[in-house]
């Protein structure tokens, strides 16, 4: 059984998607439509940068989504048929589009708006995010409870890596206390705000208004949602979960374990880099699973060959 997973912010690099667009007309069509809908030069940003312009939240969200969905279009044309799809944070919108819940056009409208709102929130309610590595979740929760101000668990990425998010002062103090409590590493993330926390309340409210205007269809493939870490096909329940996504933790560990316990033994990361592949490997350490990755034509061929051998 196969699950296709889509990466989110942090997986980008200058040059992503170029070889795919040059090699496959269906990938080129995704980029052309994405540029038409968003009005952004996504091809130039992805293929040439500059990096500081690409990584601006309002540009990055539609840019990375274009790469993810260009990869998916090629995979789908080649007959890849997963039993689940999932995406990490921003990547969830790629998963919903792949499952037919949201049209390609509406997906790009939504991620453009999401990027703009999250960038604005970073200016009006400044915050910070830190990756805490090598400290148990229970101990980190104890640390956060001792810190004055607003700081929260934001992403449970792997058994070893948890991201915290909150007000600048509170998040910084929590990071120092996590180090003192025995964290192996604590790394500040290069993001513009306190994502996946209640500090996104204003952005989430504006996004929800837009979300309720977008037509959604029943998922053709169950989507494992960030907010619940469970599979869903009902469009209204998906819409409700999406309205809470900016405010809620990304339950990635639970999502991967859910898919594994449902019988998934093949995971294919559709998008740039290998961030999710690395996380899945750590989550399912010691388990017999195959983790594949596809973005370039060469990776695509290797992934398809690997899936063929597994069948």
Active-site positions read 89, 196
Element (H, E) at 240: helix 235-245
CB 133 within 8 A of CB 186: yes
Q: At what angle do helices 104-124 and 57-77 cross, to 10 degrees?
A: 160
| Residue 216 half-sphere exposure toward CB, CA atoms < 13 A | 24
Q: Is the backbone of residue 100 left (phi > 0), alpha (psi -120 to 50) or beta? A: left
Cα–Cα dist 205/243, whole Å: 8
Cα–Cα dist 84/192, whole Å: 31
- Sheet with 266-270, side-by-side order of all strands: 231-232, 223-224, 84-87, 2-6, 266-270, 290-294
Buried b (16+ CB within 10 A) or exposed e, 18-47: bbbbeebebbbebbebbbebbebebbebbb
Cα–Cα dist 188/166, whole Å: 12
For residue 179, with 0-12 CB atoms within 10 Å meaning exposed, 13-18 middle and 19 or more buried, which class applies?
Answer: middle
> What single-letter DSSP state applies at residue 268?
E
* Beta carbons within 8 Å of 234's beta carbon, 6+ residues apart: 218
DSSP string computed for 80-101? ---SEEEESTTHHHHHHHHTTS
DSSP string computed for 284-295? TTTS--EEEEES
């Amino acid at each position: 059984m196969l699950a296709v997973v889509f990466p989110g912010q942090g997986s980008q690099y200058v040059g992503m998607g170029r070889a795919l667009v040059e090699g496959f007309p269906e990938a080129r069509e995704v980029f052309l439509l994405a540029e038409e809908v968003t009005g952004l030069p996504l091809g130039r940003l992805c293929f040439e940068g500059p990096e500081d312009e690409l990584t601006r939240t309002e540009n990055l969200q539609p840019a990375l989504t274009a790469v993810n969905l260009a990869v998916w279009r090629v995979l789908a044309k080649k007959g890849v048929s997963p039993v689940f799809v999932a995406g990490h944070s921003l990547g969830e919108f790629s998963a919903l589009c792949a499952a037919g819940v949201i049209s390609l056009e509406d997906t790009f409208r939504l991620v453009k708006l999401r990027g703009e709102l999250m960038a604005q929130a970073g200016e009006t309610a400044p915050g910070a995010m830190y990756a805490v590595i090598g400290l148990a979740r229970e101990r980190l929760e104890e640390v956060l409870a001792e810190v004055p101000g607003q700081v929260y668990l934001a992403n449970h990425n792997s058994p070893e890596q948890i991201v915290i998010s909150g007000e600048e002062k509170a998040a910084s103090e929590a990071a120092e206390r996590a180090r003192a409590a025995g964290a192996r590493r604590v790394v500040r993330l290069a993001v513009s705000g306190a994502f996946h926390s209640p500090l996104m309340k204003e952005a989430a409210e504006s996004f929800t208004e837009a979300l309720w205007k977008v037509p959604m269809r029943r998922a053709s493939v169950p989507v494992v949602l960030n907010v619940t870490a469970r599979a869903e096909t009902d469009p209204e329940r998906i819409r409700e979960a999406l309205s809470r996504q900016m405010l809620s933790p990304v339950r990635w560990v639970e999502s991967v374990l859910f898919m594994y316990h449902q019988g998934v033994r093949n995971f294919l990361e559709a998008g740039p880099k290998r961030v999710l592949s690395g996380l899945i490997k750590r989550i399912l350490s010691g388990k017999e699973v195959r983790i594949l990755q596809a973005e370039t034509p060469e990776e695509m061929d290797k992934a398809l060959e690997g899936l063929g051998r597994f069948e």
